């Protein structure tokens, strides 16, 4: 009975009732597989088309889904085996499938080419038939079971994204000052994003031309300031232990058209300090220290009054130009200064909204764009480069 006839029958029909019979049966099917590989060598091929046709025919005989020998063994031997034999049949069948990897077309073509090369070698005629058969079997074994002791193929490692690199650098500076990192949801409520921050109903930032709304009460946060309110509430619930000193890095979203300086998604970091006897002098000293750590010890800072609904008084922070050192250039528009962030003393109403007593505590806050700091650090003139995934750009960092 040929192997083709055997795989058409069940194990019960073949009289296989124990593990030894299963092992013998699967040994027979592997031997038939090796014999087919040897037949490929004996037949040879005149050209690439003939070689491919031979490989396809052999592959279909063994691995075709409907009538392939391996598929029939699965259907008639494994699936229809008794409960007692199923573990043994399953193990033997898995080994057969691994062994059958050499029956893929591309592997068969390699085997034919290998044997043809041996047939055309100068000492091909001196190879005994039994040794040739053993070589065929060995080639099949090598293709089916690769040498696992060989070194693997390594994936090329990427690098840290420039925005994340700069974010971590800023975080390290403030962590060294005793601040902690707080995070919050990017899908935020109108209450935390606007109301609790003392932003009035008629403020332009509430318009859907500027903010991306999900529904009337839910939006994609436009800044990381909502995290400050959530941190205040948590701090108060914990009994206000010590002061509250946090930074809040994260992604923000606004309804901006993409261009060289705008993106609908960007990265922001805000800082908040709340304690007794906090003054604007503490804010200026902290940001001056940060600017010198980030841009260099010779960096100077300048504060100018401005207005934000959530701080009073409010200020804009500029640093001496990191390109020309303050003498004036195209980067700073000949002014010698580059405006980088906003800051101010936390508005008493915002403290109340966070559950903090403004009669006992005061605080200050600041906000900066991580993308803009990254552009300044590496001399990048288009914010869109950060989000395009161009490997030629990213592999520079």
Residue pLDDT, tens place only, 219-256: 999 999 999 999 999 999 999 888 999 999 999 999 98
More confident position, 341 or 34: 341
pLDDT at 124: 42
pLDDT at 121: 47
Over residues 132-154, mean pLDDT: 58
Chain position carrying tokens 């010698």: 336
Over residues 261-288, mean pLDDT: 94
pLDDT at 129: 46
Query: Where residue 147 falls among pLDDT bands split at 50, 70, 90?
Result: low
Are the CB atoms for 294 and 173 separated by under 8 Å? yes
Over residues 87-110, mean pLDDT: 76
Is-above-0.75 flag for pTM? no
**In a 3-state reduction of DSSP, which class is residue 244?**
strand
- The pairs formed by 320-324 with CB atoms below 8 angstroms and a separation of 24 or more are 322/295, 322/296, 322/376
Asked whether the bond before 313 is cis by omega within 30 degrees of 0, the reply is: yes
pLDDT at 123: 45
Query: Where residue 55 falls among pLDDT bands split at 50, 70, 90?
Result: confident
pLDDT at 105: 66
Whether residue 47 has pLDDT greater than 80: no
Over residues 98-108, mean pLDDT: 69
Whether residue 213 has pLDDT greater than 70: yes
Whether residue 303 has pLDDT greater than 90: yes
- Mean of the per-residue pLDDT values for the chain? 85
Over residues 107-121, mean pLDDT: 56
Query: Where residue 282 falls among pLDDT bands split at 50, 70, 90?
Result: very high
Name, of 73-82, 139-148, 279-288, 332-341, the range with top average pLDDT: 279-288
pLDDT at 363: 95
Cα distance between residue 93 and residue 74, in whole Å: 7
pLDDT at 132: 44
pLDDT at 127: 44
Over residues 310-316, mean pLDDT: 94
- How many CB atoms are located within 10 Å of the residue 155 CB? 6
More confident position, 59 or 188: 188
- How many CB atoms are located within 10 Å of the residue 380 CB? 18
pLDDT at 102: 66
Please write the tens of the pLDDT for every residue from 170-202.
999 999 999 999 999 999 999 999 999 999 999
End-to-end CA distance of the chain: 67
pLDDT at 48: 72
pLDDT at 334: 85
More confident position, 281 or 78: 281
pLDDT at 226: 96
- CA 250 from chain centre, in angstroms, equals 17
Q: Which tokens hold the place of 93?
A: 């069948």
The vertex-208 CA angle with 203 and 214, nearest 5°, equals 120
pLDDT at 96: 82
Are the CB atoms for 338 and 295 separated by under 8 Å? no
Chain position carrying tokens 């100018």: 304
pLDDT at 126: 45
Residue in 125, 118, 101, 133 with CA at minimum distance from that of residue 34: 133
Over residues 19-48, mean pLDDT: 79
């Amino acid at each position: 009975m040929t192997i083709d006839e055997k795989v058409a029958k069940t194990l019960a029909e073949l009289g296989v009732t124990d593990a030894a019979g299963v092992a013998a049966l699967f040994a027979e099917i592997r031997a038939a597989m090796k014999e087919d590989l040897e037949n490929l060598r004996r037949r040879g091929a005149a050209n690439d088309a003939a070689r491919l046709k031979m490989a396809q025919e052999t592959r279909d005989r063994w691995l075709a889904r409907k009538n392939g020998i391996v598929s029939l063994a699965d259907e008639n031997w494994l699936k229809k085996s008794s409960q007692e034999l199923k573990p043994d049949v399953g193990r033997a069948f898995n080994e057969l499938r691994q062994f059958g990897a050499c029956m893929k077309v591309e592997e068969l073509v390699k085997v034919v080419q290998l044997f043809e090369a041996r047939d055309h070698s100068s000492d091909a005629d001196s190879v005994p038939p039994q040794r040739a058969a053993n070589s065929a079997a060995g080639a099949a074994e090598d293709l089916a079971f690769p040498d696992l002791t060989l070194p693997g193929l390594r994936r090329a490692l990427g690098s840290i994204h420039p925005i994340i690199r700069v974010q971590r650098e800023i975080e390290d500076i403030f962590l060294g000052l005793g601040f902690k990192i707080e995070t919050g949801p990017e899908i935020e409520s109108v209450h935390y994003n606007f109301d609790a921050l003392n932003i009035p109903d008629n403020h332009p930032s509430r318009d859907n031309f500027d903010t991306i709304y999900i529904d009337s009460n839910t939006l994609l946060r436009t800044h990381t300031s909502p995290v400050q309110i959530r941190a205040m509430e948590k701090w108060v619930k914990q009994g206000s232990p010590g002061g509250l000193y946090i930074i809040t890095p994260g992604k923000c979203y606004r309804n901006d058209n993409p261009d060289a300086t705008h993106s609908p998604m960007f990265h922001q970091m805000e800082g908040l300090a709340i304690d007794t006897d906090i003054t604007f002098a503490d804010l200026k000293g902290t940001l001056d220290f940060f600017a010198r750590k980030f841009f260099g010890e010779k960096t100077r800072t300048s504060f100018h009054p401005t207005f934000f609904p959530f701080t009073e008084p409010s200020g804009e922070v500029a640093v001496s130009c990191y390109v020309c050192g303050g003498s004036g250039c195209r980067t700073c528009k000949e002014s010698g200064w580059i405006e980088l962030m906003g800051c101010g003393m936390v508005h008493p109403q915002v403290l109340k909204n966070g559950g903090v007593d403004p009669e006992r505590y005061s605080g200050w806050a600041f906000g900066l764009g991580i993308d803009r700091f990254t552009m300044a650090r590496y001399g990048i003139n288009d914010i869109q480069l950060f989000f395009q995934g161009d490997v030629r750009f990213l592999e520079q960092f």
